[in-house]
Amino acid sequence: AAACQYALEHNIADLADDHRRAARLAEGLAKLPGVEITAQATNMVFAHFPDEHVQPLSAWLKEHGILIELLYATRFVVHRDIDDADIDKVTAVMQSYFSRL
Residue 3 domain flag: no
Residue 68 domain flag: yes
Residue 82 domain flag: yes
Number of domains in the chain: 1
Q: Is the pLDDT of residue 54 over 90?
A: yes
Residue 6 domain flag: no
Q: Is the pLDDT of residue 7 over 90?
A: no
| Confidence at residue 67, expressed as pLDDT on a 0 to 100 scale | 93
Q: Is the pLDDT of residue 4 over 90?
A: no
pLDDT in tens, 18-50: 999 999 999 999 999 999 999 888 899 999 999
Tell me how many helices (H) and strands (E) the chain has. Answer: 4, 3
Distance between CA atoms of 37 and 74, rounded to whole angstroms? 10
Please state, rounded to an integer, the average pLDDT across all residues of the chain.
93
- Domain with residue 77: its CATH number is 3.90.1150.10
Residue 7 domain flag: no
